[in-house]
Structure 1
Amino acid sequence: MDVVRHGGIAAAARRVEPSGPPVRADLEDVFRAAYARVVGVAARVLGTRDEAEDVAQEVFLSFGRTAVPAAEAPGWLSVAAAHTALNHLRSGRRRAAREGQAGDGLAVSPDVADAVVTRDEHRRVRAALARLPRKHAVALVLRHSGLSYAEVAATLGLSPGSVGTTVRRAESALREELNRHASSSD
């Protein structure tokens, strides 16, 4: 949160994009209230806090240029974090570097087999999540990031009663995707 200590997110946004549209006056308040949730949603998708913080920066800079009412900011930011993280995951821009760095630390791990299996399982789940329809992927990410059914419903524009069904279908689709790729890689 160095941004907050060095003049705030609004000041940082002005330094990054001085010629763009004006930055919202309420950006700093929204940032302080929602930063942890945005990073949490992105981290669920990406698996690393560093990348999640990069996504959060993108999301807040985008939010700073919107006219979304502050009351709707938590939902907008959660969905934007999930979408942006999924885009990063799907693009694979950082995946190769991350996997290369992860391989360097194997020699010092006390239980190399467990570390490799866990890392491979996480990679497989993230890859399967990236192949799901966006609505299912976002519903899973939001629900498993700690949002309540009511919050997921409000965020995705669903009826509260349909969230459970959507999440169950998404979980089923994720399992099928994992099984399909597990059997094709054997």
Structure 2
Amino acid sequence: MARTHPAVRADLEEVFRTAYPRVVAVAARVLGDRHEAEDVAQEVFLTFGRSAVPAGEAIGWLCVAAAHTALNHLRSGRRRARREEDVRPETVSPDVADAVVTNDERRRVRQALRRLPRKQAVALVLRHSGLSYAEVAAALDLSPGSVGTTVRRAESALRKELNHASPE
């Protein structure tokens, strides 16, 4: 029996070439791991390739999808065990100790980020990934004037989460 495949967009290659670095950057901002971010980008572009998203909205859609997918990866917890195994040094030197502290701080930020409301977390990630207020507004269907407020609230909520979270 022949298997039919959904049609792939004619503009996929052009959009991929244009948007791939930004999509990976958004996912890497959330995940802190370029290889994981590339996996997320692959997922996002596979979904986009079968979508009917207008070409003019592709960048915003892809960036939001990357942020959502990366947050889902964080929330799933699959990476935690692997990451903790990578951080356990046999002997501790000053450089390794610094790396462990940095990794622990990043882990705490990512844990706090996943506890934020989804729209705030995505707005924060997109803005800190280099998207302009106008691009964040278009991607999240917000008014450009409310982006700054949303990002400030997200930053405040993130600080609260970090201050209230007990180190593990």
After TM superposition, the score normalised by the length of structure 1 is 0.84
**What SS does the corresponding residue of 2:6 show, helix, strand or coil?**
coil
Aligned match of 2:158: 174
Q: Does 1:128 align with 2:116?
A: no
- Selected match of 1:66 from 41, 44, 51: 51
Deviation for aligned residue 1:110: 5.0
What is the alpha-carbon distance in structure 2 between the residues aligned to residue 137 and residue 173 of structure 1? 10
Moved more, 80-89 or 111-120: 111-120
1:49-79 deviation per Cα after TM superposition (whole angstroms, max 9, x unaligned): 0000000000000001100011110000000
What is the alpha-carbon distance in structure 2 between the residues aligned to residue 51 and residue 160 of structure 1? 31
Deviation for aligned residue 1:148: 0.8
- Selected match of 1:93 from 78, 82, 85: 78
Give the aligned CA root-mean-square deviation in angstroms: 1.7
Contact residue 82 and residue 141 of structure 1 kept, 8 A: yes
What is the alpha-carbon distance in structure 2 between the residues aligned to residue 110 and residue 72 of structure 1? 48
Aligned match of 1:38: 23
Map 1:70-85 onto structure 2 (within 5 A): 70-85=55-70
Q: Percent identity?
A: 78
Contact residue 60 and residue 135 of structure 2 kept, 8 A: yes
**What SS does the corresponding residue of 1:94 show, helix, strand or coil?**
helix
After TM superposition, the score normalised by the length of structure 2 is 0.93
What is the alpha-carbon distance in structure 2 between the residues aligned to residue 144 and residue 107 of structure 1? 35
Q: Does 1:119 align with 2:103?
A: yes
Q: How many residues align?
A: 166
Q: What letter corresponds to residue 62 of structure 2 in structure 1?
A: L
Q: What letter corresponds to residue 143 of structure 2 in structure 1?
A: S
Deviation for aligned residue 1:112: 2.4
Aligned match of 1:162: 146
- Selected match of 2:128 from 144, 154, 162: 144
What is the alpha-carbon distance in structure 1 between the residues aligned to residue 152 and residue 85 of structure 2? 34
Distance 1:22 1:101, change over 3 A: same
Deviation for aligned residue 1:103: 2.4
Q: Gapped runs of 5+ residues in structure 1?
A: 1-17
Distance 1:19 1:109, change over 3 A: farther
Aligned match of 1:13: none
